[in-house]
């Protein structure tokens, strides 16, 4: 009973809501003794019952008790019926959802996985960067360049990814700062690693080991990419991220989601959801004169039966800020509301992209049968119109640089032209040879070089 008193005090303290005396019972389930806890939380005249049958999950919950119970206006609008407690599985906590959208999520702590189906509007995941929680954010370690021959390699280094004053920074730096200039043309970058936290995470496109030569230099930029693939993934939900984009020519920040399991096969068959992508360039214009640098952001979904068939152009929106403002001037909120009916993308709470493929789903929406008769539909056996976006996705945040895909050769950069062609076999060398053109735009000598960093203030995911 001591545990019960402690729990009641903790929750009352965190809540400012009335917490009813809690019921604790011990169950024996197939020889496993389990602690079953029922907490009643009262908000006005509404009552929410939270049932837990997993002590590990309880600890996680208590760590976030303040947010879970208090910072979320506790379902005062959304009345909840008392939850049912299920005791079939020793690791599953279930509460009745109040809508049919049915958010599901997996949060993995150690070896235990909890599947949670709480009421709509419940905070499911939050990071406000009190610390750099490496239990949540895993570094990717690779030089592969994301399939675009990007010029950075991703590493786990506190010069490139760090938390300070409740802000997560992802900052690109020069590889030569660490390894010396000669390394680029004659060194070997070996990212294979020897212990679990060091292991190369992507060998595709020579991602784990590269040797430099005069024309084929080692990735001249060092940066970071973080993901939650092993710790947090969700299906349907509302995600909101407050972030400030980096400024500097050829910097390419992104906050996006990838499928945890590739249920429909390899990219892009299992989908990709990009909340925000941006180009750090100060003065970059498309052929029609549109500014496509740091005063523009884009949201995109990628989907198609196989590469390069991809209907992304049907599910893309970009927004330009007026009056010379840029996405690097301050924080903006990038949001996505994802239900079983569709996906709505928001910039600072304004709807910018609303995707509903219709009842026949993305296969018909992309008209793949018309353009490529006879090919297989990877989503054919899913009953959900949203397939492939009917599976769990995880969060990725990274800062890339250059590459041969995202910066079109038809763009005009001012005052210094783009130093490489996307068809060049020596793209990274051409880019790096022009360092005097672009590196000053990163402002490396002011603000600790952080103008070139993406800054993230918060990441939140709610149920829908
Ligand atoms: C929680 O509320 C439900 C519904 O009113 C009630 O049946 C249950 O006994 C309460 N549990 C506790 C521990 O107070
Ligand atoms: C991290 O990067 C910085 C800047 O390039 C470098 O000076 C430092 O040696 C690196 N640290 C490790 C542990 O590799």
DSSP string, 433-445: HTHHHHGGGG-TT
- pLDDT, position 42: 62
Beta carbon of 377 within 6 Å of any ligand 1 atom = no
Q: With bands split at pLDDT 50, 70 and 90, how would you rate the model's confidence at 17? A: very low
Query: Residue 461: pLDDT above 90?
Result: yes
Task: From 443, 463, 461, select the one nearest 453 (Cα to Cα).
Answer: 443
Residue 143 CA to residue 205 CA, distance in Å, equals 8
Query: Residue 322: pLDDT above 90?
Result: yes
3-state helix, strand, coil in the chain (%, to 5): 15, 35, 50
Query: Residue 400: pLDDT above 70?
Result: yes
Considering only residues 304 and 31, tell me which one the structure prediction assigns the higher pLDDT: 304
- pLDDT, position 47: 61
- pLDDT, position 106: 75
- pLDDT, position 293: 98
Query: Residue 110: pLDDT above 90?
Result: no
Residue 213 CA to residue 91 CA, distance in Å, equals 53
Query: Residue 22: pLDDT above 50?
Result: yes
pLDDT tens by residue, 249-293? 999 999 999 999 999 999 999 999 999 999 999 999 999 999 999
Closest-lying ligand 2 atom to the alpha carbon of residue 222: 5
* Residue 398 Cα to ligand 1 middle (Å): 46
Residue 354 contacts by C-beta under 8 Å, 6 or more apart in sequence?
Answer: 342, 343, 344, 345
Residue 158 Cα to chain centre, angstroms: 20
Query: Residue 132: pLDDT above 60?
Result: yes
Beta carbon of 80 within 6 Å of any ligand 1 atom = no
**183 C-beta neighbours (distance < 10 Å), count:** 17
Average pLDDT over residues 449-464: 97
Tell the burial category of 130 from Cβ atoms under 10 Å away from its Cβ (0-12, 13-18, 19+): exposed
Alpha carbon nearest to ligand 1 atom 1, residue: 40
Alpha helices in 135-186 (DSSP H): 175-179, 181-186
Average pLDDT over residues 20-26: 55
State the ligand closest to the CA atom of 19: 1
Query: Hey, CA dihedral for 129, 133, 138, 144, is it positive or negative?
Result: positive
Average pLDDT over residues 434-441: 98
Average pLDDT over residues 166-185: 98
Q: Six-digit token pair at 387?
A: 């397939």
Closest-lying ligand 2 atom to the alpha carbon of residue 157: 1
Closest-lying ligand 2 atom to the alpha carbon of residue 179: 5
- pLDDT, position 457: 98
Query: Residue 462: pLDDT above 50?
Result: yes
Query: Residue 113: pLDDT above 80?
Result: no
Q: With bands split at pLDDT 50, 70 and 90, how would you rate the model's confidence at 36? A: low
* Residue 141 Cα to ligand 2 middle (Å): 14
- pLDDT, position 85: 30
**391 C-beta neighbours (distance < 10 Å), count:** 20
Residue 459 CA to residue 395 CA, distance in Å, equals 10
Ligand 2, CB cutoff 6 Å, lining residues: 157, 159, 173, 177-178, 222
Kindly report the pTM of this predicted structure.
0.77
* Coil, strand or helix at 40: strand
Residue 201 CA to residue 106 CA, distance in Å, equals 21
| Residue 96 φ/ψ, nearest 5 degrees | -75, 130
Query: Residue 212: pLDDT above 90?
Result: yes
Quickly list DSSP for 245-272.
---STTEEEEEEEEESS-TT-STTTT-E
Label each residue of 294-362 as H, E or C.
CCEEEEEEECCCCCCCCCHHHCEEEEECCCCCCCCCCCEEEEEEEECCEEEEEECCEEEEEECCCCCHH
Average pLDDT over residues 313-337: 97
- pLDDT, position 103: 79
pLDDT tens by residue, 349-388? 999 999 999 999 999 999 999 999 999 999 999 999 999 9
Residue 265 contacts residue 404 (beta carbons within 8 Å): no
Q: Which residues pair with 351 in a beta bridge?
A: 346
Considering only residues 150 and 111, tell me which one the structure prediction assigns the higher pLDDT: 150
- pLDDT, position 35: 56
Q: With bands split at pLDDT 50, 70 and 90, how would you rate the model's confidence at 395? A: very high
Strand duo 221-223 + 152-154: pairing: parallel
- The helix (H) or strand (E) run that includes residue 454 is strand 454-462
CA distances from 22 to 19, 50, 458 (A): 8, 10, 32
- pLDDT, position 137: 98
Alpha carbon nearest to ligand 1 atom 8, residue: 40
- pLDDT, position 10: 55
| Residue 22 φ/ψ, nearest 5 degrees | -100, 150
Alpha carbon nearest to ligand 2 atom 8, residue: 178
Residue 226 contacts residue 137 (beta carbons within 8 Å): yes
* % of the chain at pLDDT higher than 70: 76
Average pLDDT over residues 158-167: 98
- pLDDT, position 104: 80
- pLDDT, position 58: 55
* Residue 23 Cα to ligand 1 middle (Å): 8
Alpha carbon nearest to ligand 1 atom 5, residue: 82
Considering only residues 21 and 50, tell me which one the structure prediction assigns the higher pLDDT: 50
**98 C-beta neighbours (distance < 10 Å), count:** 17
Beta carbon of 160 within 6 Å of any ligand 1 atom = no
Residue 79 CA to residue 329 CA, distance in Å, equals 40
| Residue 369 φ/ψ, nearest 5 degrees | -65, -35
Residue 49 contacts residue 40 (beta carbons within 8 Å): yes
Across all residues in the chain, what is the average pLDDT?
Answer: 85
Closest-lying ligand 1 atom to the alpha carbon of residue 23: 13
pLDDT tens by residue, 45-66? 556 666 555 555 555 555 555 4
CA distances from 227 to 55, 207, 270 (A): 26, 17, 17
- pLDDT, position 242: 98
**127 C-beta neighbours (distance < 10 Å), count:** 23
Alpha carbon nearest to ligand 1 atom 7, residue: 82
């Amino acid at each position: 009973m001591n545990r019960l008193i402690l729990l009641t005090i903790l929750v009352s303290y965190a809540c400012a809501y009335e917490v009813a005396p809690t019921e604790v019972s011990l169950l024996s389930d197939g020889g496993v003794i389990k602690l079953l806890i029922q907490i009643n939380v009262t908000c006005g005249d509404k009552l929410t019952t939270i049932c837990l049958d997993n002590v590990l999950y309880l600890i996680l919950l208590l760590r976030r008790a303040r947010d879970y119970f208090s910072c979320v206006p506790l379902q005062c609008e959304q009345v909840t019926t008392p939850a049912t407690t299920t005791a079939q599985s020793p690791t599953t906590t279930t509460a009745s959802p109040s809508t049919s959208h049915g958010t599901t999520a997996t949060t993995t702590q150690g070896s235990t996985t909890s599947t949670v189906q709480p009421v709509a509007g419940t905070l499911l995941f939050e990071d406000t960067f009190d610390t750099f929680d490496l239990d949540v954010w895993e570094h990717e370690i690779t030089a592969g360049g994301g399939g675009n021959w990007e010029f950075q390699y991703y590493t786990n280094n506190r010069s490139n990814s760090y938390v300070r004053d409740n802000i997560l920074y992802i900052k690109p730096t020069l590889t030569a700062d660490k390894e010396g200039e000669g390394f680029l043309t004659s060194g070997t970058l070996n990212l294979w690693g020897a212990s679990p936290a060091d292991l190369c995470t992507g060998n595709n496109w020579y991602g784990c080991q590269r040797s430099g030569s005069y024309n084929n230099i080692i990735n001249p930029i060092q940066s970071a990419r973080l993901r939650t693939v092993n710790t947090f993934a969700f299906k349907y939900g509302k995600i909101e991220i407050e972030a400030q984009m980096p400024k500097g020519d050829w910097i390419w920040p992104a906050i996006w989601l990838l499928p945890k399991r590739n249920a429909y096969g390899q990219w892009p068959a299992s989908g990709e959801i990009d909340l925000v992508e941006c180009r750090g360039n100060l003065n970059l214009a498309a052929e029609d004169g549109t500014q496509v640098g740091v005063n523009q952001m884009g949201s995109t979904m990628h989907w198609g039966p196989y590469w390069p068939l991809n209907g992304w152009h049907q599910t893309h929106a970009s927004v330009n800020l007026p009056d010379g403002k840029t996405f690097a001037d301050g924080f903006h909120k990038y949001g996505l509301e994802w239900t079983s009916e569709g996906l709505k993308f928001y910039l600072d709470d304004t709807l910018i992209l609303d995707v509903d493929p219709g009842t026949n789903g993305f296969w018909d929406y992309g008209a793949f049968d018309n353009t490529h008769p006879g090919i297989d539909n990877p989503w054919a056996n899913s009953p959900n119109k949203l397939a492939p976006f009917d599976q769990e996705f995880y969060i990725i945040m990274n800062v890339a640089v250059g590459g041969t895909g995202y910066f079109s050769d038809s763009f005009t950069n001012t005052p210094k032209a783009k130093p490489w062609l996307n068809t060049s076999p020596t793209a990274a060398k051409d880019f790096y040879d022009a360092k005097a053109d672009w590196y000053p735009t990163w402002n490396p000598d002011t603000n600790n070089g952080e103008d070139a960093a993406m800054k993230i203030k918060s990441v939140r995911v709610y149920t829908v």
